[in-house]
Chains A and B, each alone.
Chain A
Amino acid sequence: MNQIIKVESFSENVVQLVVHAPRIARSRKPGHFIILRIDEKGERIPLTIAAADEKAGTITLVAQKVGVTSKRLCEMKAGDQILDLVGPLGKATHIHKVGTVLACGGGVGVAPLLPIVEGFKKAGNRVITILAARSKDLIILEDEIRKWSDEVIVMTDDGSHGRKGLVTAGAEEIIKREKVDECVAIGPAIMMKFTSLLTLKYGIPTQASLNAIMVDGTGMCGACRVSVGGQTMFTCVDGPEFDASKIDFDELMLRLGGYKAEEKEAFERFMQTVTV
């Protein structure tokens, strides 16, 4: 079993968990994710590996309360066990020396972005990171991101931290100011869509890391399928990163809502069992 070593709350709804998983800590690379199941009645959900400590044999995960499983996960404590944890899954990010990299992270998307930022910095690139969220308490991992970035711009929708505005405003400012060779965007689908439209306009190659619905995470079911350049791909084995200019984001957003009614029902049932 996989013991939770440390829990840290970033905000009311966002929690960072350090979990004992020595094999995964050793073999994971930036861009990889895991699938976990909390207990016997649990569902399997994917989470990106935000960091790993090979010596301590731990990986770091960040979860945001949105449904039954993430809520249960966010309420777990140090010492608790996660029944099933499998990985590392997906293709690792193609990290190379390219020049200047613009990294855009939205909300909890900053967690999977962190190892990628670190990787590009270590590979000798100039890295500029835009952190964006609705408000101040949803900006996470700012210090860690600063450690591996040459420059960080913080954007909030309500202006409660950094500058007021969307991620694209910060990104466009950088693009207009200096030559950007590559862009990475991770966050809500809508944020990646508009970041991609912006960088496409300037001809900057852009990778987006998709957060599709998954079941097994090993290519077995196709729940996570997405259209890339007109072809059906499986996010869990062909991705999670794809050339953003080729992704059908509108289809992705529709598919993310594929179980909305069932999820809502499950959440209501769960809240009843909690309050009774």
Chain B
Amino acid sequence: MQEYLKQEREQAWRVELRGKIKNKDRGLIERVKMPEMKAMKRVCFQNKEVNLGLDAKSAVRESQRCMDCVNPTCIEGCPVSINIPKFIKNIERGEFADAAKTLKETSALPAVCGRVCPQEKQCEANCFYTLKLKKDPVAIGYLERFAADYERESGQIAVPEVAPKNGIKVAAIGSGPASLSFAGDMIKLGYEVTVFEALHEIGGVLKYGIPEFRLPNKVVDVELQNLEQMGVRFERNFIVGRTASFDDLKDEGYQAFFVASGAGLPRFMNIPGENYNGILSSNEYLTRVNLMNASDDRFDTPVLRGKNVAVIGGGNTAMDSVRTAKRLGAERAMIVYRRSREEMPARVEEVHHAEEEGIEFINLANPIAYDADDKGRVKSMTLQRMELGAPDASGRRRPVVIEGSEYEIPVDVVIVAIGVSPNPLVPSELPELKVSRWGTIEVDAESMQSSMPELFAGGDIVRGGATVILAMGDGRRAAAGMHNYLQGK
């Protein structure tokens, strides 16, 4: 890895580029701003992307900020180890297609990651500018998106090279980011890869969860087509363990399995009135709107619209839900979160966008009960005020109830976005599989191999609720682990 990075860095064109602009001058360039659609306008559309992407000129300018470090620490911050300086320097010299190709060396979904990764906690947190210069990091995420979008819009999409088929069949269960990343690596190694998906569309959370205004489906679809062109097979409407058993698939020649069935099981709070109509999980709400197109009259799936919509939680799913509610016409779209703004796990950019769109933040408050009308439809919620106490195990200050602080607010739709648990479907079919008491599959952290040798796992079924890019990193490690295992057999 180190050797490869060094060789690439010593290529003549990169040496030449480094000589063109002095590092001192690179450091003086200001970080680019992402152009975006105006808040007043964008809340009228469920399906128009907020961030508009960089144009070529500003992408090149931004890429000039990157100093092509001897020791590119940014790569250490990337869970799939993208060769970041190489792709950025390709942008600087105007070879945008080569930049896109570089991304695909290690990432199956660059256009997705460029949009939804929390770069501020990963690559950009490890950028030389952040670490040493205390300046804004190079906008690696924006540049990744630029390169991937450029390639897609050019219509000249490079299909990565794959090794000759080795005749070994492997299965990936679930078609979210972990599986897609796994499939991309395994197909390159020559395996016959089939991805099994329970829903009618491929993509997992990329399709049913993250809304169009953050991640357009067409962007995901192009990356899926790319995998298909490399030879990955997709089976929709297929639940491994149900539609066919693991034994059935072994009989059909599958030699190893990668389980990436996610953490799709929504959590509720189990407070009085939570089963009234109008109270639903963020998974249900987002699935209706994103997967089933419920906001569009031409589609058959309905969605509940409300005047006063409260979303419980402070993560990205909560932000996606509340911004969706705003776009579906809510007069008051509110975030109700039991800690303060600083502790919100959502990306800063999403919180900022939500605020611009007129989302109301009710911080340091927690629902304790709901009340309904005579038809069982929720009409109000009782909130309890909180204050912050001592830090808990996660290092965040624990919310403490302020006694006697209850108050009521009117609501007609409530979306519960307090987290998800691992989906129990696969573990319930495999009694001998070792799972933790939280229901996550236990694996070796390096190889991602489970207690059953032919079964590997990754993503949220191993981590609980995490991020797209961590899931993709797991997929890459599992592919390497499975390759080792199958070659050693």
Within 8 A of A (CB), among B265-284: 265-266, 268, 270, 274-278, 280-281, 283-284
Contact assessment for A27 and B242 in the assembled complex, using a CB-CB cutoff below 8 Å = yes
Decide if B345 is an interface residue (CB 8 Å cutoff).
no
Binary contact track A10-52/B, C-beta < 8 Å → 1, others 0: 0000000000000110010000000001000111100000000
A86 vs B245: C-alpha distance when bound (angstroms): 14
Q: Which of B276, B292, B377 touches A43 (beta carbons < 8 Å)? A: B292
Q: How far is the CB of A233 from chain B (nearest CB, A)?
A: 11
Contact of B238 among A86, A89, A259 (CB under 8 A): A86
| Cβ B275 vs Cβ A227 within 8 A | yes
Chain B CB within 10 A, most for which of A69, A215, A255: A215
Q: CA separation between A220 and B264, bound complex, in Å? A: 5
Contact A251 B275 (CB under 8 A): yes
Number of interface residues of A (CB under 8 A): 42
Whether A88 lies near B423 (C-beta < 8 A) is no
Distance (Å) between the CB of A55 and the closest chain B CB?
17
Given A27-B245, A221-B287, A222-B266, are A86 and B198 neighbors across the interface (CB < 8 Å)?
Answer: yes
| Inter-chain contacts of A219 with B (CB < 8 A) | 264-265, 423-425
Partner pick for B265 among A85, A220, A258, A265, CB 8 A cutoff? A220
> How far in angstroms is the closest Cβ of chain B from A174?
34
B297 close to A257 (CB less than 8 A):
no
- Residue of A whose beta carbon sits closest to that of B241: A27
A269 touches B424 (CB 8 A): no
- The residues of B that contact A255 with a CB separation of less than 8 Å are 275, 277, 376
Cβ of B303 to closest chain A Cβ, rounded Å: 7
Q: Which of B237, B275, B424 contacts A84 (CB 8 A)?
A: B237
Which of B242, B244, B300 touches A42 (beta carbons < 8 Å)? Answer: B300
Asked if B301 is at the interface of the complex by the 8 Å CB criterion, the answer is yes
A270 to B274, CA, bound (A): 32
Q: Which residues of B contact A24 (CB under 8 A)?
A: 243
- Within the complex, what minimum Cβ distance (angstroms) separates B300 from chain A? 4
Q: A89-B242, A216-B287, A219-B423 are in contact. Are A254 and B375 (CB under 8 A)?
A: yes
**Measured CA separation A223–B286 after assembly (Å):** 12
CB of B302 within 8 Å of the partner chain: yes
Residues of B within 8 A of A43 (CB): 292, 299-302
Residues of A within 8 Å of B280, CB to CB, are 221-223
Chain A CB count within 10 A is highest, among B199, B278, B302, B423, for B302
Contact yes or no, A85 B237, CB < 8 A: yes
Q: How far is the CA of A126 from the CA of B423 in the complex (A)?
A: 39
Asked if A198 lies at the interface with its beta carbon under 8 angstroms from chain B, I say no
1/0 per residue B234-261: CB within 8 Å of A? Answer: 0011110011110010000000000000
Contact A232:B268 (CB < 8 A) given known A27-B244, A43-B292, A44-B292: yes
Contact assessment for B283 and A221 in the assembled complex, using a CB-CB cutoff below 8 Å: yes
Q: Does A178 contact B (CB under 8 A)?
A: no
Which residues of the partner chain A approach B297 to less than 8 Å between Cβ atoms?
269
The residue that B243 contacts in the complex, of A37, A86, A221, with Cβ under 8 A, is: A86
CB nearest to B300 among chain A residues: A43
Q: How far is the CB of A218 from chain B (nearest CB, A)?
A: 5
**Contact (A27, B302) CB under 8 Å given A215-B288, A215-B292, A219-B265:** no
The DSSP consensus for interface residues of chain A is mixed
B397-440 at interface with A (beta carbon < 8 Å): 423-425
Inter-chain CA distance A129–B107, complex, in Å, is 59
CA distance A223 to B287 in the complex (A): 11
Nearest-Cβ distance from residue B245 to partner chain A, whole angstroms: 7
Q: Give the chain A neighbours of B284 by CB distance below 8 A.
A: 215, 221-223
CA distance A216 to B299 in the complex (A): 16
- Residue of B199, B242, B376, B377 touching A216 (CB-CB under 8 A): B199
CB-defined contacts of A42 to chain B, threshold 8 Å: 299-300
Instruction: Please indicate which of the listed interface residues A42, A87, A220, A262 has the most CB atoms of chain B within 10 Å of its own CB.
Output: A220
Closest CB in chain A relative to B49 CB, distance in Å: 22
Q: Mark A224-252, 1 if CB is under 8 A from B, else 0.
A: 01110000100001000000000000010
* B200 beta carbon closer than 8 Å to chain A: yes
A218/B200 in contact, CB under 8 A: no
Is residue B304 within 8 Å, beta carbon to beta carbon, of the partner chain? yes
Asked whether any CB of chain A lies closer than 8 Å to the CB of B134, the reply is no
Report the Cα distance A219→B298, complex, angstroms: 27
Q: In the complex, A258→B424 CA distance in Å?
A: 27
CB distance from B371 to the nearest CB of A (A): 14
Q: Is A263 an interface residue (CB 8 A)?
A: yes
For the complex of A and B, the 6 pairs showing the least CB-CB separation, nearest first, are A254-B376, A262-B302, A221-B284, A258-B277, A86-B237, A220-B264
* Extra inter-chain contacts (17) besides given A215-B287, A218-B199, CB under 8 Å: A43-B302, A44-B200, A68-B300, A89-B239, A216-B199, A218-B423, A220-B264, A221-B280, A221-B281, A221-B284, A222-B266, A237-B425, A255-B275, A258-B278, A258-B304, A262-B302, A265-B302
12 cross-chain CB contacts under 8 A: A27-B243, A84-B237, A86-B239, A215-B284, A220-B265, A222-B283, A223-B284, A255-B275, A255-B277, A255-B376, A258-B377, A259-B304
